[in-house]
């Protein structure tokens, strides 16, 4: 398979998505990898993750030090730090760049921090490859629907991340840079499923922003599938967009509460939020084709576009307002998210 024998670096590897990527890399879902390097700046999360993957209750010196060169490795480092990134890049053949500040209100209040991590962090990855990374075969950047027609800081910084990585195909031609863009990962830290579960357990109320707000929903495993798909089949500069259902947040709350008569309290739109999200914009339609079950957005930069261009597959922008999951389909997605959290 495409990652057989490869050394894979996962930035932000202690997050919800990062941990699931690591699990599936070690399970061999994308090939028999030589090693997986988890880079993050949170030593507590790394410690907890190390113990969980080893099946240990407490750490001893052999866990922390003697196992440091085994198949699963941990590196303390910040994606903003070029020196730290260079040290990790030296030992990687493939990079999955998942490090990010992803909470919309947090990014609004701490704009500089979001720029440093989400945008300049991607630039640091590129610069590290320019210095020591000629051997790196591929980099995939993890993006978001909020990067499409962005109106908030999180989306703006992620949109620039996409552009930085796509343009890097021209400045680091020995490496293939691609991106994956999707909506809310249901069940991940900070998503509505764990929030609503807690509120339901406490007897309500369930807090929802507005009655008509919609969101794209994707499970952790579908998100990882998209990462592996773009690594296996993406061409330089392409953005893979998985097909995803969407639902009103109100319907998610109702599906989760079931027959219980709990209050739904509307609290208003938080700083930076949109009512509906978009995964493929009107401006991108002419560059969007379909491949292996994914929408594929070709790069706009000269020299990176496909030749001849693939047939356009969408006639209107891909918006959460047009696709509404409800009933059994929504219940199945929620159940899948809950089972994934329990397994993790």
Burial class (CB in 10 A: 0-12, 13-18, 19+), 254: middle
Beta pairing class for 214-218 and 138-144: unpaired
Best CA proximity match to 319, nearest among 270, 284, 291: 284
- H-helix or E-strand spanning residue 130: helix 120-132
Name the active-site residue from 146, 222, 254, 274. Answer: 146
Beta pairing class for 72-76 and 206-208: unpaired
| Catalytic annotation present for 146 | yes
CA atoms within 13 A on the CB side of 315: 0
44 CB contacts (<8 Å, ≥6 apart)?
A: none
Provide the CA 317 distance to its chain's centre, in angstroms: 21
Distance CA 216, CA 115 (A): 24
Contact present, 49 and 10 (Cβ < 8 Å):
no
Burial class (CB in 10 A: 0-12, 13-18, 19+), 300: middle
Best CA proximity match to 18, nearest among 216, 194, 188, 234: 188
- State the Cα angle at 116 between 112 and 118, rounded to 5°: 110
Place of tokens 């962090």: 121
Distance CA 201, CA 178 (A): 41
Distance CA 220, CA 228 (A): 13
Burial class (CB in 10 A: 0-12, 13-18, 19+), 205: middle
Active site residues: 146
């Amino acid at each position: 398979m495409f990652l057989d024998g490869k050394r894979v670096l996962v930035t932000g590897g202690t997050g919800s998505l990062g941990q699931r990527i690591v699990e599936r890399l070690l399970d061999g879902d994308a090939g028999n990898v030589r090693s997986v390097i988890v880079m993050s700046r949170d030593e507590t999360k790394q410690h907890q993750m190390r113990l969980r993957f080893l099946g240990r209750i407490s750490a001893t010196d052999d866990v922390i030090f003697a196992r440091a060169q085994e198949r699963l490795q941990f590196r303390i480092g910040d994606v903003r730090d070029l020196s730290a990134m260079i040290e990790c890049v030296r030992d990687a053949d493939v990079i999955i760049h998942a490090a990010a500040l992803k909470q919309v209100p947090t990014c609004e209040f701490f704009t500089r921090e979001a720029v440093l991590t989400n945008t300049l962090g991607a630039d640091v990855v590129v610069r590290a490859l320019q210095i020591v990374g000629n051997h790196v075969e591929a980099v995939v950047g993890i993006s978001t629907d909020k990067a499409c027609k962005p109106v908030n800081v999180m989306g703006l910084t992620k949109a620039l991340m996409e552009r930085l990585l796509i343009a890097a195909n021209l400045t680091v031609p020995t490496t293939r840079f691609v991106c994956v863009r999707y909506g809310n990962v249901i069940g991940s830290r900070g998503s509505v499923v764990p929030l609503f579960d807690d509120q339901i357990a406490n007897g309500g109320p369930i807090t929802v922003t507005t009655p008509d707000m919609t969101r794209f929903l994707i499970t952790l495993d579908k998100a990882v599938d998209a990462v592996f798909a773009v690594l296996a089949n993406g061409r330089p500069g392409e953005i893979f967009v998985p097909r995803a259902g969407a639902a009103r947040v109100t319907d998610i709350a109702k599906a989760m509460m079931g027959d219980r008569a709990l209050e739904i309290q509307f609290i208003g739109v938080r700083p930076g939020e949109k009512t509906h999200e978009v995964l493929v914009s009107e401006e991108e339609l002419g560059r969007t084709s379909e491949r292996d079950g994914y929408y594929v957005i070709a790069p706009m930069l000269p020299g990176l576009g496909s030749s001849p261009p693939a047939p356009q597959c969408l006639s209107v922008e891909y918006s959460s307002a047009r696709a509404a999951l409800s009933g059994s389909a929504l219940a199945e997605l929620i159940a899948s998210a809950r089972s994934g959290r329990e397994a993790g």
